[in-house]
Amino acid sequence: MARDFAKKTKMRNSASRFGKQKESNAIPAWTWVIAGLLIGTIATVMIVLSLNSVDTTTKEVTKKKEIPSAKSRYQAVPAEASDTDLDFHYLLENKVVELPDQTKQNSSSKQKLSTKRYIMQCGSFRKIGSAESLKASIALNGFTAHIKATDAKSGKRWFRVVLGPYTTKRMAESERHQLERNSINNCRIW
């Protein structure tokens, strides 16, 4: 593209490349910084003085309180008479509840269920050394494990690492969770 150098205007020394700079009558930034610091200092001093006055009043109040002795602290305090007297504890004092026959039968059936035993198996190995190492790691966690040798249908011998027997499944589950927390996984309850 062609340029016309004949109509070129000369730039004056006072003007910059981006236009004329404006002179302002604004307050310089350093005065705002000093004013902010002064206001912050005054506010901090006032807060510290108000906290000191609160602390002295609370110290005086705590000194005036008497600490009761152990005997007076735990002595029975007489109840104040109120408009609504609740005497349910007098009514329930000599109350007898009779259970129907159904609940007696349910409790006997629960006793029959509690004879069931649970066993937890944590591993089954072809080599006795692997079974003994698992048994040792279980023993380090505070539990007693047993190794039972079983023969499979194919004629191969397996070594099972077993814990139990447990009377309730809840006991077995709690021990299984403790073992899982200690990185002994894959225990099953039967």
Q: Kindly report the CATH number assigned to the domain that includes residue 168.
A: 3.30.70.1070
pLDDT digits (tens, 9 = 90+) for 14-63: 555 565 556 667 888 899 999 999 999 999 999 988 887 765 655 555 55
Q: Which two tokens stand for residue 168?
A: 């309730």
Residue 67 pLDDT grade (very low, low, confident, very high; cuts 50, 70, 90): low
pLDDT digits (tens, 9 = 90+) for 165-174: 999 999 999 9
* Size of the chain, expressed as the number of residues it contains: 190
Whether 163 maps to a domain, the answer reads yes
Whether 155 maps to a domain, the answer reads yes
Q: Using an 8 Å Cβ cutoff, are 134 and 161 in contact?
A: yes
Q: Which of 2-6, 39-43, 70-74 has the highest mean pLDDT?
A: 39-43
Whether 17 maps to a domain, the answer reads no
Whether 77 maps to a domain, the answer reads no
Say how many domains are in the chain: 2
Instruction: Give the domain-ending residue among 21, 43, 61.
Output: 61
pLDDT for 115 equals 75
Domain holding 166, by residue range, is 115-189
- pTM: predicted TM-score of the whole model, two decimal places: 0.41
For the chain, give the percent of residues with pLDDT over 70: 59
The more confidently predicted of residues 158 and 77 is 158
pLDDT digits (tens, 9 = 90+) for 102-137: 655 555 555 555 578 999 999 999 999 999 999 999
Write the Ramachandran bin of 186: left for phi over 0, alpha for psi from -120 to 50, otherwise beta: left
> In whole angstroms, how large is the CA radius of gyration of the chain?
44
Exposed / middle / buried, residue 71 (Cβ in 10 Å: 0-12, 13-18, 19+): exposed
| Distance, CA of 65 to CA of 59 (rounded, Å) | 10
Whether 72 maps to a domain, the answer reads no
Cβ neighbours of residue 159 closer than 8 Å, sequence gap 6 or more:
124, 125, 126, 127, 128, 130, 131, 147, 148, 149, 150
pLDDT for 22 equals 60
119 and 181 in a single domain? The answer is yes
Whether 110 maps to a domain, the answer reads no
For the chain, give the percent of residues with pLDDT over 90: 46
The more confidently predicted of residues 12 and 173 is 173
